[in-house]
Chain A
């Protein structure tokens, strides 16, 4: 595997920022529309019948789950749809690789950028919950960090699938069969453990579950030793996942 240069990775992030800052205004709405819709349907609608869950009003429960889910979706859009365009249609990766930067640095930079996007949109949604008066602890200041780690993890995951996808249609399968179920079944809308211990174990495998739990704990100040476990889980999985797209990028992108 080729050596990574911190400078190289940083330039990839800078370059993504250049494109992004032109589009930020028009991308806020699509990124926040989805969670707000869920918030209305689940939090207000179902919340009307549910009452309290996990020691908090259902509306609060759902909105905090949606903070993490929003981050994941933003990272996924970046590392799947946008990355596909940059890899195969605009061939931005090819153009960039004529500079001193190599493909592995582009992959890592792109995943970290997915982390940045997750942070931006997750935090924007967090502000929505702030106005709703849900946040109860100063520890919310750490939520963007969790969003960043989670987004980077999903960045590496999404990039892996984008590199492996034989055609563009497979990207839809990834979003439909992996991301969408995670969105629904990661303690986002209901605590898996109270349905069945079996489901709790399945949920444990979803990175989003750990992010959702962490964000709820931070928002309510209920941070425990378990929180540390969740953080370590996310970091280890992100690091392990980072090797996959790096090791296949050269054989897959045959420019």
Chain B
């Protein structure tokens, strides 16, 4: 049985400094099994940097991250076995076809070729790409590429999946298909950490939401309760209100365009 009390991710007071500039200032996150958290913030707010510190591709300036109790800084190899990452860019290998992209990633987790292929078939089926397994990357639409990246992130059966603006730039249909897959994963007990610009996406997928700007947390709380607590109607209004995007801005932009 899934133990929904188990803590999958703890990030304490994460700070990232580039030279004299602080891209992330004291962000803390805790995520339980099967739960989901969305980080919402404008471009440059520090969303990607926060995620990169968690999935251990960028150094943590100060702070501490544990994935399933494993320290990401001292034991990144072990910690990364438990996570799947959907980066902001697709980063698919264009010299390989769909199936090969899956296998190429799977072998990095010590999964033997034959098993990698079996797993890849199952996952491509899950994201609706099994019939495209022989296709080259350039033959895929934007939505298909994103689903392939999702399938690739699942080859190691991660307990936590980290997604950086996974549906930015997708059409509405593709976005809904993608959300549906994430909901299915969540039901299976996979925890989700996602960044997003879209209120609708967050309302549908995230149990909790954290709004950040300039590297700092502004507010966080349960997605269902936060807008009312802050005196807004929904997540998008809360976000726009709290990050300083007021009615005035909107009018100025309308005049300009």
A23 touches B95 (CB 8 A): yes
Interface positions of B from 44 to 101, Cβ below 8 Å from A: 52, 55, 57-59, 76-78, 80-81, 83, 85, 87, 89, 91, 93-96, 100
In the assembled complex, A97 has its CB within 8 A of some CB on chain B: yes
A19 in contact with B96 given A91-B89, A98-B85, A99-B108 (CB within 8 Å): yes
Chain A residues positioned under 8 Å from B59 (CB to CB)? 250
A18 touches B103 (CB 8 A): yes
Known contacts: A5-B77, A18-B100, A255-B52. The answer to whether A90 contacts B94 by CB under 8 A is: yes
A200 on interface, CB distance cutoff 8 Å? no
Count A-B pairs with CB separation below 8 Å.
66
Inside 8 A of B77's CB, which chain A residues have their CB?
5, 8, 100-102
Chain B residues at the A interface, C-beta cutoff of 8 Å:
52, 55, 57-59, 76-78, 80-81, 83, 85, 87, 89, 91, 93-96, 100, 103-105, 107-110, 156
Q: Which residues of B contact A137 (CB under 8 A)?
A: none
What chain A residues lie within 8 Å of B104 (beta carbons)?
A: 15, 18-19
Question: Are A98 and B55 in contact, CB atoms less than 8 angstroms apart?
Answer: yes
Are A99 and B52 interface neighbours, CB within 8 A? Answer: no
Given contacts A5-B77, A18-B104, A99-B105, contact A94 B87 (CB under 8 A): yes
Select from chain B the residue with minimum beta-carbon distance to A82: B95
Distance between Cα atoms of A46 and B18 in the complex (Å): 58
Are B95 and A100 in contact, CB atoms less than 8 angstroms apart?
no
Residue of A nearest to B105 (CB): A99
Rank and list the top 3 A-B pairs by shortest CB-CB distance, nearest first: A99-B108, A98-B85, A95-B91
User: What's the Cα separation between A112 and B113 when bound, in Å?
Assistant: 21
- The CA of A100 and the CA of B103, in the complex, are separated in Å by 15
Within 8 A of B (CB), among A3-18: 5, 7-8, 11, 14-15, 18
Q: Is the CB of A98 within 8 A of B80?
A: yes
Q: Are B95 and A95 in contact (CB under 8 A)?
A: no
- Tell whether, in the assembled complex, residue B91 and residue A18 are in contact, meaning their CB atoms are under 8 Å apart: no
